[in-house]
A and B are shown apart, each in its own frame.
Chain A
Amino acid sequence: GNSVTQMEGPVTLSEEAFLTINCTYTATGYPSLFWYVQYPGEGLQLLLKATKADDKGSNKGFEATYRKETTSFHLEKGSVQVSDSAVYFCALSDSMDSSYKLIFGSGTRLLVRP
């Protein structure tokens, strides 16, 4: 079945460091891929998305490229800030699944220290 695998956290970085959070997926159709962010005590917010191979999603300095050949959608940011501390979820929505539900990875907690 469809699935998403994320790197285990927590990831601890110093401010202005480079961030990579790995995400790989398994899907039967042509999925859309998403990164959501959850700040403490809040709901999930869409960070970025890509709907077809080679698309790059970007928002607030974060980027991720839909790589069909490696079934990956890694999240990157060139210079993290303390305010980026949150839990990041990679997710997919599969065109072969009539519900179009989101399938989430387990989440990666990011802690950025001043």
Chain B
Amino acid sequence: DSGVTQTPKHLITATGQRVTLRCSPRSGDLSVYWYQQSLDQGLQFLIQYYNGEERAKGNILERFSAQQFPDLHSELNLSSLELGDSALYFCASSISGGTTDTQYFGPGTRLTVL
């Protein structure tokens, strides 16, 4: 158990809908990352937050947004869903977000868009 929790574990929805994925980092970790794992794209970085502030964006679509709350949990919002958004979404956390930090991954949320 990494200490990172993600809910829900599975999510099935229809095209055009909006969903929210939730992540709670390990106790004491200030940095949260979101990654998408798909068969065609592999593991791709989406966005990073550090202590409530957005630090970096990766290959995140404009239809996607995220935030980190004062209690440090994070939510990833996916809207106007398309079939191609079906993937496994991972949250990871680290102490400070530095190069040498270990990122600890949650179990993921599997999103299926029908």
Interface residues of A (CB under 8 A from B): 29-32, 34, 36, 42-46, 49, 51, 89, 93-95, 97-107
Is B71 close to A, CB under 8 A?
no
| Chain B interface residue count, Cβ-Cβ cutoff 8 angstroms | 25
Given the known inter-chain contacts A95-B99, A101-B33, A102-B103, please indicate yes or no for A44 contacting B45, CB distance below 8 A: no
B42 touching A44 by the CB < 8 A rule?
no
Is B2 close to A, CB under 8 A?
yes
Other contacts beyond A44-B92, A89-B43, A97-B56: 11, CB < 8 A: A43-B107, A43-B108, A51-B99, A51-B100, A93-B103, A94-B99, A98-B56, A99-B48, A102-B92, A102-B103, A107-B43
- 19 example contacts (A-B, Cβ-Cβ < 8 A) are as follows A36-B105, A42-B107, A43-B107, A43-B108, A44-B105, A45-B2, A49-B102, A89-B43, A93-B99, A99-B55, A100-B48, A100-B98, A100-B99, A101-B45, A101-B58, A102-B103, A103-B45, A104-B42, A107-B42
Q: A98–B54 Cα gap in the complex (Å)? A: 12
Which residues of chain B are within 8 angstroms of A45 by Cβ–Cβ distance? 2, 105
A101 touching B106 by the CB < 8 A rule?
no
Q: A30–B91 Cα gap in the complex (Å)? A: 25
B97 touching A100 by the CB < 8 A rule?
yes
A99 touching B58 by the CB < 8 A rule?
yes
Chain B nearest CB, measured from A33 CB (Å):
10
Query: In the complex, which residue of chain B has the Cβ closest to the Cβ of A101?
Result: B45
B99 touching A102 by the CB < 8 A rule?
no
Q: Nearest 3 CB-CB pairs, A to B?
A: A99-B56, A101-B45, A104-B43
Given the known inter-chain contacts A42-B107, A44-B105, please indicate yes or no for A31 contacting B99, CB distance below 8 A: yes
B27-71 to A contact mask, C-beta < 8 Å, 1/0: 000000101000000110100100000011010000000000000
Q: Which of B55, B56, B103 has the most A CB atoms < 10 Å from its CB?
A: B103
Q: A95–B58 Cα gap in the complex (Å)? A: 16
A44 touching B90 by the CB < 8 A rule?
yes
Q: Which of A32, A93, A99, A100 has the most B CB atoms < 10 Å from its CB?
A: A100
